[in-house]
Each structure stands twice: as C-alpha cells, then as structure tokens.
Structure 1
Amino acid sequence: MFSSFVPALFGGFLIGLGAILLMVLNGRIAGISGILSAALWSRKPSDAKGIAWQWYFLGGLLISGLLMGAPLQAIFDVQPIDIAALSISMPILLVSGLLVGLGCAIGSGCTSGHGICGIGRLSPRSVVATLVFMFVGVITAIVFH
C-alpha cells in the first residue's frame, strides 16, 4: 500500500530540496520555464557571466533522471510509461506543447516556478496561477478521457 506513493514522495522531497538549495546558494527561483528560456535566449552582455548555472541545472535534471531511473524502478518495482502504447496523436501532442508554452509565457512561469517555489514563498499570484493550472488540467483530463 505505502510503496505506491513512496517514489512520488521521494521525488517531491528531492525537487523541494533542489528548489531550496538553488534559492539559498544562488538566490534564484527554480522555475524551469524561466531557466530554460534564459539558457536558450538570454544574449545580454550582462548575462554572459551568469548563464552557465542554467545549463548546469538543466543538465542535472536530465542526468539525474537517467542515473536514477533504473535504480528507482528496481527499488520500488515500478514500470516506465510505454509512450508508444498511448493513443494520442502527434498533432495533439504538438498543439498541447505549444499551448503549455503559451500558458507559461502568459502566466509568467510554469508549475515548478509557481506551484513549488511561488506557493512556498506565499505569493498570491502563484497560488492563483497554480489553481488555474490544476483546474485546466482536470478539465482537459475529463474532456480527453
């Protein structure tokens, strides 16, 4: 019974720890859309010195997932999602990705920035943004399933 939520609890702990460490050690908020955007498109001369940390952060996300994926599957006896078995067409996935990106731009952040870091800082704007994310996600899941 408990083993079903232990991986999620462990992952949530690590995400929270990473967000706290980035704030304490670097003074930055761990909003993935902002970090990715700054890494890809920030070309101001004043950003040249500080841009490396974004690439390290993004690389750490990818590498930690690759390194920990197999051991955590073995420990918690969970199976990865078979993406090929999903019945979602590529055009729907592309449109969905574009809508998520548009939502991040309009909402000035993503679920990691607002939902984890913003709520942790008691930001009213982040609470509202997270409620909107969750509401739209629930409605989308109901409509498509």
Structure 2
Amino acid sequence: MSEMLFPNGWLPYLVGGVLIGLGTAVIYLTTAIPAGASTFLESTLSYASDRPRFQKYRGSRDWRVVFSVAIVLGAAAYAFTLGDGPWTTDVQPWRLAVGGLLVGVGTRLGKGCTSGHGVCGIGSGSRTSLVGVATFVAVAVGTAQLVAALGVSP
C-alpha cells in the first residue's frame, strides 16, 4: 500500500512539505502576508494594467514577482537535474492549457488557491479555508472519477 501511495518513497514528499511550510512561515513572519501563489501571480498584472484591482499590490509586487518566478525556476531546475526532463506528462498540450485556464478561473472564484487556503488558511485555523480546501478536493476527486469513467486518456 505504501508503494502505491508513495511511488518514489516518502522522503521526497516529507522534504517538499517541510520546505513549503518553512517558506510559508518565512514569508509570513517577514511580511505579514499569507503566501498565496494565485495572488502573487495576479500581482504581476500591476506592471501591465492600470485597473485598480491590480494596483493594490503595487507596494509589494517586486518581491512577489521574485517569488512567482522562483516557483517556475525551481520546478525547471528540478526537472532538468533530478527529474526526467521538462516534459513529464502524456497529456496533450491543449488539455493542459484548458485545465490551466479552468484552474485560474477557479482560484479567482474561490478567492485563492490551494497554497493560500490549504497551507496558510488551514494552518491559521480559517474556517473559510477549510471549506474551500474541502471543496477543491471534492471537485478534484469527482472530476478524476468522471474522467476515468468516461475512459478519457491523455
């Protein structure tokens, strides 16, 4: 059972969880801002748009952009050094694009993403985040079951 749940062993998941928790704590302790990736990514739009919605991040957008770029560069560094290269899925690119768009819409409707609600919100005891994460998981499980039942493959 352990091999099915943790195909690469449990250590990489433990190390990843500790690093995410440590990073989240450092960001919160130094800025008093919960580390939600969707808000950090949205803050980059303040460079290109004058809309008031995006300008609220103007004072803290520089370090948020560094955080967002570091997420991408960290994943790329892992893929090229310890992983199997940059493309590790059989999913068609158009499906990834549609999925990414739906996730983006969902993060705005849900007022945040799994990093903000799941790591920071639940960690701080937020009931709203607990409901949000339960909804994320329920929809993900339901979607996976539906896709499997329809026989959709990459």
TM bucket normalised to smaller: 0.7 to 0.9
Task: Give distance in 1, aligned partners of 2:144 and 2:66.
Answer: 34
Give unpaired runs (5+ residues) of structure 1: none
Using the size of structure 2 for normalisation, the TM-score is: 0.76
Task: Give distance in 2, aligned partners of 1:109 and 1:69.
Answer: 26
Instruction: Name the counterpart of 1:20.
Output: 25
Shift of 1:69: 4.5
Q: Deviations over 1:32-63 (max 9, x none)?
A: 00010012236567754422111111122233
Q: Deviations over 1:69-114 (max 9, x none)?
A: 455x3xxxx756632xx2x444433332222111111110001000
Task: Give distance in 2, aligned partners of 1:55 and 1:21.
Answer: 16
Give unpaired runs (5+ residues) of structure 2: 149-154
Instruction: Name the counterpart of 2:69.
Output: 59
Using the size of structure 1 for normalisation, the TM-score is: 0.80
Relative contact order, higher structure (CA 8 A, sep 6+): 1
- Percent of aligned pairs with the same amino acid: 33
Counterpart among 70, 82, 86 of residue 88 in structure 2? 82
1:1-145 aligned within 5 A: 4-41=9-46, 43=50, 47-69=57-79, 73=82, 79=84, 82-83=88-89, 86=90, 88-145=91-148
Instruction: Say what the alpha-carbon RMSD is for the aligned residues.
Output: 2.5
* Residues matched between the structures, number: 137
Could you tell me which amino acid in structure 2 is paired with residue 106 of structure 1? Answer: L
SS at match of 1:115: helix
